[in-house]
């Protein structure tokens, strides 16, 4: 089969022939239909310090995908050939304290599909049955391909109640944009989102945010009057990983405010924790999805009318992977999809 592979340490990916995978007793084999490019894939392609520490080449990359089940292992009980499946890319151990307690998203020995084991940027991929989310209702293939990052957005957006609250999101990348759509759908009074990319701020406006603010031109506190706010934001969602974004978010939160932090900083962040203490703020780290409560919520939200299709801005055939990666890396797009069908 054809697959996008990190063949050796160093920058770049190659579309090459590799052996077809075969499912084990508890696995399902999928024919991949669509994949989404994630920031993690960009790190692996560029071979930055994180990738060099984490990834062992050769490796088939990619973890955002949807595919059709072709074959199931002898021990598979519910998934069947013909099912349309999106994949949960975090592979858990099943035996640690959190796994045994049902808190699978907190497994300390999690392995990443397309990071630690061969992934989904390929014509076929093998997945444990427990990681297969079967779509029992009609879903757009491009949307189904990005259930992984959509889950990050839903996990973050619903980490704290947002009904009737004023919400601040720092970072209008694809996940931040989807989180904004979820917060509005879930009944937030106002949603403000910040970035420095005009294209991404324009996408945020299409998704119905109340304020899309270019923080290179204006301070967040300047939106208070426009939103009839007097005491700051009730809920914050930090998606950028930028030190200045977290510091400004803390300074603009109301007393007792709650911050869900998904953005992964590339460097240490210095924070005035006296503000956290004196304002009695709650800061919660978010990683991945709550398996599989978040997946259930994603499907319900889509069936209830949530539309995240504006987040998808570019589509490429997998043979155009170089252009697809360059588009995703440019920072002016939303979600970039690759088609793996002929």
Residues known to be catalytic: 40, 43
Q: Is residue 332 part of an annotated ligand binding site?
A: no
Q: Is residue 107 part of an annotated ligand binding site?
A: yes
Q: Is residue 268 part of an annotated ligand binding site?
A: no
User: Which backbone phi and psi does 232 adopt, to 5 degrees?
Assistant: 100, 180
Q: Is residue 103 part of an annotated ligand binding site?
A: no
Q: For 112-167, what is the HEC assignment? A: EECCCECCCCECEEEEEHHHEEECCCCCCHHHHHCHHHHHHHHHHHCCCCCCCCEE
111 near 117, Cβ under 8 Å? Answer: yes
Question: How many alpha carbons fall within 13 Å on the CB side of residue 276?
Answer: 12
User: Which backbone phi and psi does 315 adopt, to 5 degrees?
Assistant: -135, 135
In whole angstroms, what is the distance from residue 256 CA to residue 162 CA? 14
Q: Is residue 99 part of an annotated ligand binding site?
A: yes
Other CB atoms within 10 Å distance of the CB of residue 273: 11
Q: Is residue 286 part of an annotated ligand binding site?
A: yes
Q: Is residue 59 part of an annotated ligand binding site?
A: no
Q: Is residue 93 part of an annotated ligand binding site?
A: yes
16, β-bridge pairs: 3
Burial class (CB in 10 A: 0-12, 13-18, 19+), 134: middle
Nearest in space to 34 (alpha carbons), one of 154, 123, 132: 123
Q: Which stretches does DSSP call E strand in 39-102?
A: 59-60, 64-72, 84-87, 90-91
Q: Is residue 264 part of an annotated ligand binding site?
A: yes
Q: Is residue 90 part of an annotated ligand binding site?
A: no
Q: Is residue 175 part of an annotated ligand binding site?
A: yes
Q: Is residue 63 part of an annotated ligand binding site?
A: yes
What CA–CA distances, in Å, run from 251 to 171, 232, 271, 309? Answer: 16, 9, 10, 33
- Supply the Cα-derived Rg of the chain in whole angstroms: 20
Summarize the annotated binding site as residue ranges.
38, 63-64, 93, 96, 99, 107, 175, 195, 200, 262-264, 286-287
Q: Enumerate the known binding-site residues for Zn(2+).
A: 38, 63-64, 93, 96, 99, 107
Question: Binding site membership for NAD(+): which residues?
Answer: 175, 195, 200, 262-264, 286-287
């Amino acid at each position: 089969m054809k697959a996008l592979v990190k063949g050796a340490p160093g920058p770049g990916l190659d579309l090459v022939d590799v052996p077809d995978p075969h499912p084990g007793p508890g696995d399902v084999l999928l024919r991949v239909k669509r994949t989404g490019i994630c920031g993690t894939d960009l790190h692996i392609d560029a071979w930055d310090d994180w990738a060099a520490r984490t990834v062992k080449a050769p490796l088939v990359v990619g973890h955002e995908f949807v595919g059709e089940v072709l074959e199931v292992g002898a021990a598979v009980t519910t998934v069947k050939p013909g099912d349309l499946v999106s994949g949960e890319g975090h592979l858990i151990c099943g035996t640690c304290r959190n796994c045994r307690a049902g808190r699978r998203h907190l497994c300390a020995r999690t392995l990443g599909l397309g990071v630690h084991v061969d992934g989904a940027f390929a014509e076929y991929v093998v997945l444990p049955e427990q990681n297969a989310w079967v779509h029992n209702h009609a879903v757009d293939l491009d949307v189904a391909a990005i259930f992984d990052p959509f889950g990050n957005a839903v996990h973050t957006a619903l980490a704290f109640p947002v009904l009737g609250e004023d919400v601040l999101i720092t970072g209008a990348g694809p996940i931040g944009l989807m989180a904004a759509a979820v917060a509005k759908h879930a009944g937030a009074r106002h949603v403000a989102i910040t970035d420095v990319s005009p294209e991404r701020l324009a996408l945020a406006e299409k998704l119905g945010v109340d304020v899309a603010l270019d923080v290179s031109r204006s301070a967040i506190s300047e939106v208070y009057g426009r939103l009839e706010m007097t005491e700051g934001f009730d809920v914050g969602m930090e998606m950028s990983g930028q030190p200045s974004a977290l510091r400004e978010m803390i300074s603009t939160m109301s007393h007792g405010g709650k911050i869900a932090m998904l953005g992964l900083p590339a460097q240490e962040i210095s924070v005035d924790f006296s503000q956290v203490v004196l304002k009695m703020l709650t800061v919660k780290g978010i990683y991945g999805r709550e398996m599989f409560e978040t997946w259930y919520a994603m499907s319900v939200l889509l069936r209830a009318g949530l539309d995240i299709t504006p987040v998808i801005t570019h589509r490429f055939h997998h043979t155009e992977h170089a252009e697809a990666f360059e588009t995703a890396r440019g920072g002016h797009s939303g979600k970039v999809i690759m088609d793996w069908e002929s």
